[in-house]
Amino acid sequence: MYVVMVTPECAPVAKVGGLGDVVQGLSRELAVRGATVEIILPKYDCLRHDLISGLTQCYSGLAVPYHHHWIHCDVFCGFVDGLKCYFIDPHSHQNFFNRGIFYGHGDDAERFAFFSRAALEFMLKTHKHPDIIHCHDWQTALVPVLLWEIYQHQGMTHPRVCFTLHNLAHQGLQGEHILRQVGLNPGSLMTHDRLMDDHHLGAVNLVKGGIVYSNFVTTVSPRYADEIRRTHLGMGLQRILAVHHQKFGGILNGIDYNAWNPEVDGHIAKHYSPATVGDKYANKDALRSRLWLRQEFKPLVGFVGRLDHQKGVHLIFDAVSYCLDHGCQFVLLGTSPHGHINQAFRNLKRHFNDHPDCHLEIGYSEELSHLIYAGADLLLVPSEFEPCGLTQLISLKYGTVPIVRNTGGLGDTVFDADYAPRPYHERNGYVFNDYNWTGLESALRRALGLWHHYPQYFRELMLNGMRCDYSWNHPGQNYLNVYNYIKAR
Ligand code: ADP
């Protein structure tokens, strides 16, 4: 099986959130299972170059048609975690990928539409004929459209396309110009059964195009697959997902236990396993020392993630004061794409500046995130919706009890200590239904009650989580099954 991932992110060199982790973890698992995997990424200036080995230019002068002219690209090749990656570096006045950040520019759609076309052009020119092209989210949703509308007529008839929806909150709504810029004809594509958005007449919906043109569409948990087909969480794509339901399914994300494992993690103070779970508390001490928190007998509640509306930012905000008022410590690591949210958390940070039980880190730090997963007792994930969520999976592995809202992948992976219809040894956290403060508070109160009054049961809950298998083992096989299924058709 020969798989090419076309993706905007791949951890650890280009990671904004879970998409980056998934591409890296899935690719490694596929490679372990004998597949040949290559990854095509933009050559962002903000790549973690220090984590790429053997980076060399392997193709120069790749001429990519764009907006009635050609943009010339160099392509670099290097290895990330043993995975072969190609980085496309366009030379043009738009400076597509030299912006210091991955996303957040007015022309993001143009940047990634160009990248999609460039990735296919590179495969064509280098005679790559993968069995599967696996693309991800709106950024690369034009890949299957371009493949069937243009590149199959140039000889690329072999590859089949798997398209993964990591988050339908971002669909790439654009004017028709986006199609013309990459050489597609809006005249034939702007119909209800192809790329025209169902609710914004005249707008191109890139994700819809990806769904229509791919051979198989996956999303990142079974629950989210169901939610986006049947409820408002489909964000307008329910109809097209229903039309294409026979080629659509949910495969739960895994996490890479080489990167996320307290037995081997190079970023934490002391390694531990279920057999030595007491050593976890050396990490709690280390986290407190690092963040100037007092060493005292009290639970430590954590949050790691993007401070986006989807993540329940107002609930996290309220949880900080609640925890401090109820004898806990609170540590937050996060950053927001929205300036006003960052500002609100900066103000909160200022308010608690000298508080010995609170640290809010408004920023991004891979290394600190590991220490928080290892050092915290409880981790909050109060999302309004969550396609899969990785932070709860990581926290389970680190014996940090997750408190999650019952939605998407959170509902598929966390089972309430008190109410889950499962045997006790399978219960691993706290789950609440209502997306409001009362909901979160009820779960938080139960969790803190257990920590204070029934430490031996709390410890069992930690161990139940640590024993869960949310590795890429099962999902890796599921993706191979999908690949084999579409390859044979
Ligand atoms: P999403 O993809 O919606 O951002 P996920 O829970 O699927 O959320 O994945 C989040 C990933 O990004 C996790 O690996 C988490 O540790 C990481 N992450 C998010 N924010 C930060 C941050 N500020 N610093 C370090 N890692 C972060």
Residue 94 makes CB contacts below 8 A (sequence gap 6+) with 107, 110, 111
Average pLDDT, integer, range 389-418: 98
Give the Å distances, CA to CA, from 449 to 278, 325, 335, 453: 20, 14, 30, 6
Q: Give me the phi and psi of 345, to 5 degrees please.
A: -75, -30
Does 468 have pLDDT greater than 90?
yes
- Confidence bin at 90 (pLDDT 50/70/90): very high
* CA distance linking residue 217 with residue 267, whole number of Å: 36
- In this prediction, residue 14 carries a pLDDT of 97
Q: What is the pLDDT of residue 201?
A: 87
Q: How far apart are CA 470 and CA 255, in angstroms?
A: 6
Distances 64 to 113, 121, 128 between C-alpha atoms, Å: 12, 7, 16
For 62, half-sphere exposure in the C-beta direction (CA atoms, 13 angstrom radius) is 25
**Where does 43-191 show beta strands of DSSP type E?**
53-66, 69-80, 83-91, 132-136, 160-165, 173-174
Percent of the chain at pLDDT > 90 equals 99
| Pocket-testing residue among 166, 256, 369, 470, ligand 1, by greatest number of atoms within 8 A of Cβ | 369
Q: What pLDDT is attached to residue 452?
A: 97
What does the pLDDT average to over 309-332?
A: 97
Given the CA of residue 361, which atom of ligand 1 is nearest to it?
23
Amino acid found at 117: R
| CB-ligand 1 contact for 364 (6 Å cutoff) | yes
Contact 305, 334 (CB under 8 A): yes
Residue to substitute in 7, 19, 21 for testing ligand 1 pocket (most ligand atoms within 8 angstroms of CB): 21
Under 8 Å between Cβ of 183 and 71: no
Rounded Cα distance, 170 and 385, in Å: 13
pLDDT level of residue 337 (50, 70, 90 thresholds)? confident
Q: Is 397 in the pocket of ligand 1 (CB under 6 A)?
A: no
Which residue's alpha carbon is at the smallest distance from atom 19 of ligand 1?
A: 305
Ligand 1 pocket, residue 209 CB under 6 Å: no
Residue 101 CB burial class (10 angstroms; 0-12, 13-18, ≥19): exposed
Q: How much distance in Å is there from the Cα of 369 to the middle of ligand 1?
A: 9
Atom of ligand 1 nearest to the CA of 335: 23
CA of 20 to the centre of ligand 1 (A): 9
C-alpha 344 – ligand 1 centre gap (Å): 20
Ligand 1 neighbourhood includes 12 CB (under 6 angstroms): no
pLDDT at residue 43 greater than cutoff 90: yes
Query: Does the C-beta of 365 come closer than 6 Å to ligand 1?
Result: yes
Helix (H, G, I), strand (E, B) or coil at 196: strand
Q: For residue range 120-170, list pLDDT tens digits in order.
A: 999 999 999 999 999 999 999 999 999 999 999 999 999 999 999 999 999
Triad 391, 85, 212: Cα angle to 5°: 70
Q: Assess whether the C-beta atom of 305 lies below 6 angstroms from ligand 1.
A: yes
Distance, CA 451 to ligand 1 centroid (Å)? 26
**From atom 24 of ligand 1, which residue's Cα is the shortest distance away?**
364
- In our burial notation (b when 16+ CB lie closer than 10 A, e otherwise), range 226-242 reads ebbbeeebbbbbbebbe
pLDDT at 390 over 90: yes
Q: Within its chain, how far is the Cα of 298 from the centroid?
A: 32
Specify the residue for token string 């026979």: 246
The whole-chain average pLDDT of the chain stands at: 97
